[in-house]
Structure 1
Amino acid sequence: MDYREEADTLGTVKVPAQALWGPQTERSRHNFTTGPLMPLPVIRALLQIKRAAAVANRDLGELSDTKAQLIIAAATDLLALDDARLRPDFPLHVYQTGSGTQTNMNVNEVIAHQALTHDPTGELQPNDDVNHGQSSNDTFPTAMTITAHQGVAQVVAAVRHLVAELTVKQTEYWRIVKIGRTHLQDATPLTFGQEVSGWVSTLQHDLTYLESLTDTLLELPIGGTAVGTGLNAAPGFAQAVAAELSEAYHQPFTAETNKFFGLAAHSGLNVVHGALKTLASDLLKIANDIRFLASGPRAGYHELTIPANEPGSSIMPGKVNPTQAEALTMAATRVMGNDVTITVAASQGNFEMNVYKPVLIATFLESTDLLAGTVTGFDDKLVHGMTVDAARMRELVDQSLMTVTALSPHIGYHASAEIAQLADQQGLTLKEAAVQSGQVTADQFAAWVDPLKMTGIDDLK
């Protein structure tokens, strides 16, 4: 491999000749070699920040038009690359300095070298020009905030689509009666549409929680520089950068936030991830309900039939497993675990800065990626093709003893319990036991024990 030599404040470094990065990135990629690479959404956000900062510094008279245009052009070039072409020049890992300084400098160095493709005689200095008026301490958390906001938007879109699909099922099966279950035991009837409406409402509430908190991710700490005072940033710089970023992302970002808070605390990510954790726990419940209701086909509930997307077993021919539900439930458990990581990391602000920033944003983005992806797969490959076995549902309703609850208003709780016990002990249907008890006639039983009527479906709007 061919190398070039570049110098930094610690001395001369050999850098791969074709690499766009410089000496600090080269040192860092050898010093920090463990764990996943810095997520590309963070890199793209930093590129947008550098472009916005160049515009702001130019307009404020802090940077020459020539240098600003080179930064803008280089950042634009890099942002136009797809992930596969962008990744090679951003080789650093999540587990590095807690401020994200290595990644910030990686971006600064790559922009400076990319600018040479526009003007080989131009000299952009990564620290003085690309990073002008900035610190890693404010640019990296600004990138964190932007990417977290984007990640949440992807989750919201996926969940909205799932809600729409479940609403179709709710309508389609609104009057299909099934047995309810509480404590994992038989309970009174409801319709499958009613059961699904509970799932729909749960997810709608989760969306409300999430969206009500997301505005905290519009507050950017840019302009705080090293400790929050704004040292070396021109007056108006933060507001100008926020305006540029708002235009780039079509979001109302603001720099009107306390910078000391923005650098030392990451409460916004913490509280929003709490809503993601709540969503994950509810998705876990819904996915489990569906896979249990689809259990069988001969020795389980088998009230639902789910699509056969792939062979379910390497040894048992013909087996169909609820794989999409399993993927979603695993993702949900990961998100719940990630919430612990984020809570602990967000608590580690010491004095003027939190130094757990890379693990905070990498963990947050893992959660949003997992939720958006597995919810979409669950929706498209399971829920969409899921159907009801109405005959099986009727069979289980007929077998259940808990429809006896409809007799209580007429003959009392204790007499009704005796009928249920008689049916259970002698293997009778509930109707047979009721008539045999002498407390209910066949006509009365037919009038009083109407499973569909018991659901209250006709009283619901």
Structure 2
Amino acid sequence: MRTETDSLGTVEIPQDAAWGSQTQRARENFPITGVAISHYHELVVGLASVKKACALANRDLGGLSDEKAGVISAVCDEIMDGQHHEQFIVDVMQGGAGTSTNMNANEVIANLGLKKLKANIGEYDLLHPNDHVNRSQSTNDVYPTAIRLAVLARIGPLIEAMYNLSKSLNNKATEFDHIMKVGRTQLQDAVPMSLGSEFRGYATTINEDVDRLSDLSRLLTEVNLGGTAIGTRINAPAKFGETAVSHLRDITGEPLSLAKDLIEASSDLGAFVMFSGTLKRVGIKLSKICNDLRLMSSGPRAGIGEIVLPAVQAGSSIMPGKVNPVIPEVVNQVCFQAIGNDLTVTMAAEAGQFQLNAMEPVIIHKVLETMGSLTNAMNVLSDRCIKGIIADEARCQALLENSLVHVTALAPVIGYEAATKLAKYAQAHGLSLQAAAEPALQAEQAQKAIEHMGFNNVGG
């Protein structure tokens, strides 16, 4: 162990750890979720990107020497390449509006920089976490900027997963276009439709939200970097925000812009609320699709049984041969989590007071958790379920022929009341519509019904 001293006293830290006293205190204060910020690779990269941009801006404006800015930048490059992430140890859930996360980054970068300077860890007179790494910055602008970068980094894989799922559904739609089946409303027989059109509808509803997520992610490209404490720009030189954001654009490749009102931008989390709400919308749609798949595949003999899901594992420890729809089931659960996470984000955004929202840590935790889980769930659903679905064409045809759904198409021919009478008679006597036409209707209506069913029956 080594000993560091700060304003609260002395702290014992593992000898080889790159973090310092404030990180160690946070580690002890917040044993909450067991999820360290290093769990979210994109968040750590976002922090390093911000620190590099600020070091370069300070160099440009005379706040840091070329040597110090160069050392900080070099360490940040290593972190952005995936190195040293094990040093980011504080729990993602923390008090202090992200201060512990910011100081974890400051201390790690400073101590790794000291190694490059051939100095000892903790010799902060040469490279200080606050005076140098955090120069012209505050947690109030570093953390909100870093969490936005983390979300922007995850949007690509999420959208790719949506495209992959939509493509799989569209492929099945084409494969199933020729198969007619019973369409249902409120779990009751409704009208005929093709199995292909049902799957195409699923693809369309997933595709709809790709553009929505892309558009909403652009709201996250407005950052408050340079606003320092609550957007006042205190302790930052003139043009620092503009210079730092310019460097950050180059580092990340994101179309970032400096917020016009830094006071407002330091406290408003409306962009996260809207983005999280759309993630919830995706989850709701996805869960509905999985509900349908489970119902359509129910059976195999005592249920609907219109489709057969691929068997991926045994379904019971006691019932031999049973196979469960485990992929749709796990996706359902991911979607429930997304819905609950959105409520957490909503409440956290509402809980801000005055010029800062101290609840940002739980917001980024839940948004990134939802994005990661939905991305994985959609890839699994596509690869391990949708692509392997088989239609039971004979079952679809048998259910259609035994149903009364064609009666809707007869209403314009024989009238709504006669069509209702025909449907009720057929149901009561266990007959097909054609067989029930003559005993149920007057001769003229019966003849019209039989002729229409013979030549104009939807789906043949």
TM-score (norm 2): 0.94
Q: What residue in structure 2 maps to residue 378 of structure 1?
A: 381
Structure 2 alignment gaps of length 5 or more = none
**Within 1, Cα distance between the matches of 2:303 and 2:206?**
27
**Within 2, Cα distance between the matches of 1:155 and 1:282?**
15
Secondary structure of the 1:310 match is coil
After superposition, residues 51-66 of structure 1 pair within 5 angstroms as: 51-66=52-67
**Within 2, Cα distance between the matches of 1:412 and 1:448?**
18
Q: What residue in structure 1 maps to residue 430 of structure 2?
A: 427
Q: 2:458 aligns with which of 443, 447, 451?
A: 451
Structure 2 counterpart of 1:86, one-letter code? H
Q: Within the alignment, does 1:86 sit opposite 2:85 as a pair? A: yes
TM-superposed CA distance for 1:245, in Å, is 2.3
Contact 1:403–1:449 under 8 Å retained in 2? no
Q: 1:230 aligns with which of 210, 230, 233?
A: 233
Give deviations 1:73-110, integer Å, cap 9, x for gaps: 1122233336xx622x1221123224110110011000
Q: 2:93 aligns with which of 92, 95, 98?
A: 95
After superposition, residues 45-56 of structure 1 pair within 5 angstroms as: 45-56=46-57
**Within 2, Cα distance between the matches of 1:423 and 1:255?**
70
Structure 2 counterpart of 1:372, one-letter code? T
Secondary structure of the 2:73 match is helix
Structure 1 alignment gaps of length 5 or more = 454-461
Q: Within the alignment, does 1:272 sit opposite 2:309 as a pair? A: no
Q: 1:440 aligns with which of 446, 452, 458?
A: 446
Give aligned-pair identity as a percent. Answer: 38
Contact 1:177–1:190 under 8 Å retained in 2? yes
Q: Within the alignment, does 1:108 sit opposite 2:115 as a pair? A: no
Secondary structure of the 2:257 match is coil
Q: What residue in structure 1 maps to residue 215 of structure 2?
A: 212
Q: What residue in structure 2 maps to residue 458 of structure 1?
A: none
**Within 2, Cα distance between the matches of 1:184 and 1:258?**
52
Structure 2 counterpart of 1:101, one-letter code? T
TM-superposed CA distance for 1:366, in Å, is 0.8
**Within 1, Cα distance between the matches of 2:207 and 2:77?**
38
Give deviations 1:278-330, integer Å, cap 9, x for gaps: 11111111111111111111111111111111111121222221111111111
Q: Within the alignment, does 1:336 sit opposite 2:339 as a pair? A: yes
Secondary structure of the 2:26 match is helix
Change in Cα spacing, 1:324 to 1:248, as seen in structure 2 (3 Å) is farther
Q: Within the alignment, does 1:182 sit opposite 2:204 as a pair? A: no
**Within 1, Cα distance between the matches of 2:102 and 2:353?**
21
Equivalenced residue count is: 448
Q: What residue in structure 1 maps to residue 408 of structure 2?
A: 405
Structure 1 counterpart of 2:383, one-letter code? D
Q: What residue in structure 1 maps to residue 371 of structure 2?
A: 368
Structure 2 counterpart of 1:99, one-letter code? A
TM-superposed CA distance for 1:448, in Å, is 4.9
After superposition, residues 159-308 of structure 1 pair within 5 angstroms as: 159-308=162-311
Give deviations 1:351-378, integer Å, cap 9, x for gaps: 1101101111001111101111101100
Contact 1:48–1:75 under 8 Å retained in 2? yes
Structure 2 counterpart of 1:103, one-letter code? T
Tell me which stretches of 4 or more aligned residues in structure 1 moved more than 4 Å: none
Contact 1:97–1:355 under 8 Å retained in 2? yes
Contact 2:95–2:358 under 8 Å retained in 1? yes
Secondary structure of the 1:7 match is strand
Structure 1 counterpart of 2:317, one-letter code? S
TM-superposed CA distance for 1:206, in Å, is 1.8
